[in-house]
Amino acid sequence: MPRSGIVRFTLALATVALVAALAVGAAGASSAKRTNGSVSGAGSTFVAPLVSLWINAVSSIGINFSYSAIGSGGGVAAITNKQVDLGMSDAPLTQFSPTCTTCVQIPWALAGTAVMYRLDGVKNHLHLTGQVLAKIYMGQITNWSDPAIAALNSGVNLPNKAITVVHRSDSSGTSYNFTDFLSHVSSAWKSQVGTGTAVAWPAGIGGKGSSGVSSLVHSTNGGIGYADAEYAHKAHLAMFSMKNRAGKFVFANLKSIKAASVLDTKPAADGSLSIVNPPKSSKYANAYPICTYTYVDVQKSSGNAATLKKFLNWAITTGQTYGPKIFFVPLPASVVKFDKKQIAKIK
Amino acid sequence: MSSLDTTNAVARRPFPGRRARFGDVLLQGVAGLAALGATFLVGLIVYKIVQGSKLSLSTFGLGFVTHIAWNPVAGHLDFGAGAFLFGTAVTSVGALILATPLALAVALFLSELSPNWLRGPVTALVETLAAIPSVLIGLWGILVLGPFLLNHVDPALHSALGFIPLFGPATYASNVFTAIVVLTIMILPIIASISRELFLGVPGELKEGALALGLTRWEMVRGVVFPYARGGVAAAMILGFGRAIGEAIAVQQVIGGFTGTHLLWNLFSPGDTIGSKIAANYQGSQTGLELSSLVYLALILLVFSLIVNVVAQVIVRRSARRLGTSA
């Protein structure tokens, strides 16, 4: 009888659906109940390559670490609403509204942003200053043969070629680092555009993610874009040597990013720490000027404090050794010391 | 209404006189619950979207819809949907203009002109096109289509039609026109396969009669097939249009993205649509107002889609009525 067959089939289907729903519900309930050795985090995609290396590593010290790279804004929202143990953000908490007022902010990783370009027929590594870069990104310098670029690259035969400016179309910590740098070196940029994970770009086109930016630069003769140092190195594109305040032109690599982190200054009381465009000093002679700390934000009062402290103390020490092969420079001792004090505030 | 139609009461209980069986009651319960659940879900989505956009709604009001601005930097905060609404309209109308004649040609070929042995495989392939995930089409758009259009098609269009501001000079592979072509590829199979079904549904006697009267194939298609299927084709176009309006990922991959501070009249410049803007910035928004403004964009998209849906239904109904009176 086909009709009762259909009924039976529907019944079976409904049963399966019901069982599945119950199972999902039960799974949800059990994961909500926090077991002692687990840490959940969400946020920055910038720090994701480093953090994903940690997931396996911390399981050996008995911590079950999970992480979703949902973006800095999402990370701050998640920690503010206590949906996760750790919120990860490339911009300091003060940049967000609403923000987490009951959190400690811990700078826990350090990386740099490289400026890439494609200019066919020019073999040399071109030099650039932040001021000229700002003018390019504001659409005021539009040709490679512009005297401002030529003056920095004497002896190089620059072609009469339009500059194609490429920026991120999505919100990103790399953009935060990049615009923070431009705001530091150009008052016009600071007042007209400003600093942020996304800004109202005065010129150019957008690409999604570092891959989108680098593929646009790759396919456009005359293109300029930016990406985190690891991505830029992997993309096999030419990179500018950027002039630092000590007057030297430096290339984004581990050594120059490390040089930028040798700080006299300690993090601010709230834990924020900007190291773009380090001061003019022989100490920073080899410092790359576009570097940034990225932060982990934790609620001061947490039911999971013991595990969190264990994890964070591991992350700022042993965890740092995983960094160099993906262009994350280990934290300098002064910052580790500061971070330990911050971690101690978690109760 | 024919005599074969049954009343609702009989249809619900296939064996009159017998008491409703447990299975039937269960079926009704499960099906009813599913329908109720779907309705509830739509309600919930609308509620959440309205609630999420409240902050932006109260800050910018209805002016947001046409206001052209997007500045997420603290101290400069200013948001509006104007540029993105414009981008959405340009890309989806453009895709519809390109896709409709192509889709009708495909449908005609498959229903009227193709040799029998070719019909099956080509139909299957056209339907496969609809099944390709949009992210794949977007990737192909970045790697293959964009550079190809930039090097071969965009300059040709610019030199032939450059006197129209829409066809300005092309500098970037990621541009509005690339997005239009990607959307065209995505909506073409939708319009084509629905139209093919409609063309196949045209009664054979009508077609044979027309041919018997000495009409050529084209005259038969124009005089019989198109008028018969007109309403359905319009509905298919609107379905495709709806798909084009809402597509976010593939568009975001190829359209470039811009800041939304002015309207872009050049098809060969990068742009943004409502969908691509939401996809690009939802994850990283720094302020509650930006997040709320993105949800406000979603609300506009929802209303836009609703209008499109209603218009499609009106057209289908009207053409069905017209067909009913003429037959």
> For the segment A274-300, what is each residue's pLDDT rounded down to a tens digit?
889 988 888 888 999 999 999 999 999
Question: Which residues in B lie closer than 8 A to residue A170 (C-beta atoms)?
Answer: 257, 279-281, 283-284
> Phi and psi dihedrals of B5, rounded to 5?
-65, 140
Question: Do A209 and A83 share a structural domain?
Answer: no
Tell me if A73 and B288 make a contact (CB, 8 A cut-off): no
3-state secondary structure chain B: CCCCCCCHHHHHCCCCCCCCCHHHHHHHHHHHHHHHHHHHHHHHHHHHHHHHCHHHHHHHHHHHHCCCCEECCCCCCEECCHHHHHHHHHHHHHHHHHHHHHHHHHHHHHHHHCCHHHHHHHHHHHHHHHHCCHHHHHHHHHHHHHHHHHHHHHHHHHHHHCCCHHHCCCCCCCCHHHHHHHHHHHHHHHHHHHHHHHHHCCCHHHHHHHHHCCCCHHHHHHHHHHHHHHHHHHHHHHHHHHHHHHCCHHHHHHHECCCCCCCCCCCCCCECCHHHHHHHHCCCCCEHHHHHHHHHHHHHHHHHHHHHHHHHHHHHHHHHHHHHHHC
User: Quick one: pLDDT at residue A27?
Assistant: 45
Nearest to A73 among B69, B270, B284 (CB): B284
User: Quick one: pLDDT at residue A29?
Assistant: 42
User: Quick one: pLDDT at residue A10?
Assistant: 56
User: Quick one: pLDDT at residue A65?
Assistant: 93
B68 occurs within a structural domain: no
Residue B293 sits at the chain A interface (C-beta within 8 Å):
no
Question: Do A235 and A163 share a structural domain?
Answer: yes
Show the tokens assigned to B235: 């509905």
The residue out of A265, A284, A303 marking a domain boundary is A284
Query: Does position A2 have pLDDT exceeding 50, yes or no?
Result: no
Average pLDDT, chain A: 87
Question: Do A96 and A38 share a structural domain?
Answer: yes
Question: Do A303 and A214 share a structural domain?
Answer: no
Question: Do A237 and A145 share a structural domain?
Answer: yes
Longest dimension (CA), chain B: 77
How many domains, chain A?
Answer: 2
Spatial distance between the Cα atoms of B192 and A206, rounded to a whole number of angstroms: 33
What number is the average pLDDT over the span A89-98? 88
Tell me if B283 and A73 make a contact (CB, 8 A cut-off): yes
A211 occurs within a structural domain: yes
Question: Which residues in B lie closer than 8 A to residue A209 (C-beta atoms)?
Answer: none
Query: Does position B115 have pLDDT exceeding 60, yes or no?
Result: yes
Q: What amino acid occupies position A313?
A: N
β-partners of residue A225 are: A116
Q: A272 is in which domain, residue-wise?
A: 113-284
Q: B204 is in which domain, residue-wise?
A: 83-326
Spatial distance between the Cα atoms of A158 and A127, rounded to a whole number of angstroms: 12
A212 occurs within a structural domain: yes
A304 occurs within a structural domain: yes
Question: Do A136 and A26 share a structural domain?
Answer: no
pLDDT tens, residue by residue, A119-163:
999 987 899 999 999 999 999 999 999 999 999 999 899 999 999
pLDDT tens, residue by residue, A160-207:
999 999 999 888 889 999 999 999 999 999 999 999 888 999 988 888
| CATH number for the domain harbouring residue A208 | 3.40.190.10
Question: Do A238 and A151 share a structural domain?
Answer: yes
Question: Do A160 and A18 share a structural domain?
Answer: no
pTM: 0.80
B296 occurs within a structural domain: yes
Spatial distance between the Cα atoms of B222 and A111, rounded to a whole number of angstroms: 65
What number is the average pLDDT over the span B121-131? 90
User: Quick one: pLDDT at residue A35?
Assistant: 46
Question: Do A274 and A136 share a structural domain?
Answer: yes
B13 occurs within a structural domain: no
pLDDT tens, residue by residue, B48-68:
999 999 999 999 999 999 999
A289 occurs within a structural domain: no
Nearest to B280 among A7, A169, A205 (CB): A169
The residue out of A248, A266, A284 marking a domain boundary is A284
Which of the pair, A184 or B309, is modelled with greater confidence?
A184
Residue B39 sits at the chain A interface (C-beta within 8 Å):
no
Task: Give residue A252's pLDDT band: very low, low, confident or very high (50, 70, 90).
Answer: very high
Query: At a CB cut-off of 8 Å and minimum separation 6, what does A35 contact?
Result: A64
What number is the average pLDDT over the span A13-29? 51
Interface A-B, measured as beta-carbon pairs within 8 A, has a size of 133
B26 occurs within a structural domain: no
The answer, yes or no, to whether ipTM is higher than 0.90 is no
Tell me if A171 and B270 make a contact (CB, 8 A cut-off): no
Query: Does position B189 have pLDDT exceeding 70, yes or no?
Result: yes
Question: Do A269 and A120 share a structural domain?
Answer: yes
Question: Do A300 and A226 share a structural domain?
Answer: no
| CATH number for the domain harbouring residue B283 | 1.10.3720.10
Task: With beta carbons less than 8 A apart as the criterion, state whether A190 and B71 touch.
Answer: no
B117 occurs within a structural domain: yes
Question: Which residues in B lie closer than 8 A to residue A169 (C-beta atoms)?
Answer: 252, 256-258, 272, 276, 280
What number is the average pLDDT over the span A329-334? 91
Spatial distance between the Cα atoms of A206 and A224, rounded to a whole number of angstroms: 11
Query: Does position B11 have pLDDT exceeding 70, yes or no?
Result: no
A191 occurs within a structural domain: yes
B69 occurs within a structural domain: no
Question: Do A119 and A98 share a structural domain?
Answer: no
Show the tokens assigned to A338: 């500061």
Q: Pinpoint the alpha helices (H) of A83-172.
A: 130-137, 147-152
Query: Does position A1 have pLDDT exceeding 60, yes or no?
Result: no
The residue out of A234, A257, A284 marking a domain boundary is A284
Spatial distance between the Cα atoms of A55 and A38, rounded to a whole number of angstroms: 11
Spatial distance between the Cα atoms of B103 and B233, rounded to a whole number of angstroms: 10
